[in-house]
Structure 1
Amino acid sequence: MINKDSKFPGKHHSDKGKWIGPWMPQWRDSGDSGPFTTLEKLYGEIQSAPERIRAKRAELEKTGKYTAAGIKDMLKQTALSETVPDIRRAAAQQVSKFRREIDKRRAAFKPFDHDPNDLVGEMRRQEVRAWLRTMTPDERTEAVRRASDPFIVEAAISVPVELTGLLPSTRDHLSQLLVEQRYGDEIAGLNELDEAVKTVERAVDGARDDVREIIGMLRHDFDAEFKPIEQQIDQQVELDAKRASFTPPPVDLNAIAETIKSLKFNERNLLLDMALDLQTTAAKAA
Structure 2
Amino acid sequence: MLNKDSKFPGKDRSDKGKWIGPWLPQWRDQGDTGPFTMLRQLYGEIQQASESLKAKQAQLKQAGKYTPAGISDKLRQVARAETIPGIRTAAAEQVRKYRREIDSRRAAMKPFDSDPKDIVSEMRRQEVRAWLRTMKPDERTKAVRGASDPLIKEAALSVPVELTGLLQSTRDDLARELIEARYGDEIEALNELDEAVKTVERAVDGARDDVREALGMVEHDFNAEFRDVEDEIDRLAEIRASKPQPKIDFDSVMSSVKALNVDEQEQLVNAIQLEQKRADDRAFRDEIARLSGKAA
TM range (shorter): 0.7 to 0.9
Deviant stretches of 4+, over 6 Å: none
RMSD (Å), alpha carbons: 1.7
Other-structure match for 2:101: 101
C-alpha deviation, 1:244, in angstroms = 4.2
Identity of aligned residues (%): 71
Other-structure match for 1:231: 231
The structure whose Rg is larger is 1
**Which whole-Å CA distance do the structure 2 matches of 1:220 and 1:125 have between them?**
58
Other-structure match for 2:217: 217
**Which whole-Å CA distance do the structure 2 matches of 1:98 and 1:36 have between them?**
10
C-alpha deviation, 1:240, in angstroms = 2.7
C-alpha deviation, 1:43, in angstroms = 0.1
Please give the secondary structure, in 1, of the residue aligned with 2:21. coil
C-alpha deviation, 1:243, in angstroms = 3.1
**Which whole-Å CA distance do the structure 2 matches of 1:168 and 1:244 have between them?**
41
Q: What residue identity is the alignment partner of 1:72?
A: S
Decide whether the 8 Å contact of 1:137 with 1:165 is kept in 2. yes
The one-character-per-residue Cα deviations of 1:138-170 (angstroms, maximum 9, x if unpaired) are 111110000011111111211122332112221
Other-structure match for 1:195: 195
**Which whole-Å CA distance do the structure 1 matches of 2:207 and 2:126 have between them?**
58
**Which whole-Å CA distance do the structure 2 matches of 1:177 and 1:194 have between them?**
20
Please give the secondary structure, in 1, of the residue aligned with 2:96. helix
**Which whole-Å CA distance do the structure 2 matches of 1:231 and 1:186 have between them?**
34
Decide whether the 8 Å contact of 2:49 with 2:86 is kept in 1. no
Q: What residue identity is the alignment partner of 1:120?
A: V
Q: What residue identity is the alignment partner of 2:176?
A: Q
1:18-29 equivalence runs, <5 A: 18-29=18-29
Decide whether the 8 Å contact of 1:161 with 1:167 is kept in 2. yes
Q: What residue identity is the alignment partner of 1:89?
A: T
Decide whether the 8 Å contact of 1:46 with 1:207 is kept in 2. yes
Other-structure match for 2:44: 44
The one-character-per-residue Cα deviations of 1:231-284 (angstroms, maximum 9, x if unpaired) are 222233223323348xxxxxxxxxxxxxxxxxxxxxxxxxxxxxxxxxxxxxxx
C-alpha deviation, 1:228, in angstroms = 2.2
**Which whole-Å CA distance do the structure 1 matches of 2:135 and 2:218 have between them?**
66
Other-structure match for 1:57: 57
Decide whether the 8 Å contact of 1:42 with 1:91 is kept in 2. no
**Which whole-Å CA distance do the structure 1 matches of 2:187 and 2:48 have between them?**
32
**Which whole-Å CA distance do the structure 1 matches of 2:21 and 2:51 have between them?**
18
The reply on whether 1:156 has 2:148 as its aligned counterpart is no
Structure 2 runs not aligned, ≥5 long: 246-296
1:1-286 equivalence runs, <5 A: 2-244=2-244
**Which whole-Å CA distance do the structure 2 matches of 1:169 and 1:54 have between them?**
51
Taking structure 2 as the reference length, the TM-score comes to: 0.79
Structure 1 runs not aligned, ≥5 long: 246-286
Q: What residue identity is the alignment partner of 2:59?
A: E
Decide whether the 8 Å contact of 1:109 with 1:179 is kept in 2. yes
**Which whole-Å CA distance do the structure 2 matches of 1:178 and 1:185 have between them?**
13
**Which whole-Å CA distance do the structure 1 matches of 2:35 and 2:49 have between them?**
21
Decide whether the 8 Å contact of 2:72 with 2:215 is kept in 1. yes
Larger deviation, residues 72-81 vs 163-172 = 163-172
Taking structure 1 as the reference length, the TM-score comes to: 0.82
Please give the secondary structure, in 2, of the residue aligned with 1:24. coil
Please give the secondary structure, in 2, of the residue aligned with 1:153. helix
C-alpha deviation, 1:10, in angstroms = 0.5
C-alpha deviation, 1:7, in angstroms = 1.3
Equivalenced residues, count: 246
Decide whether the 8 Å contact of 1:144 with 1:152 is kept in 2. yes
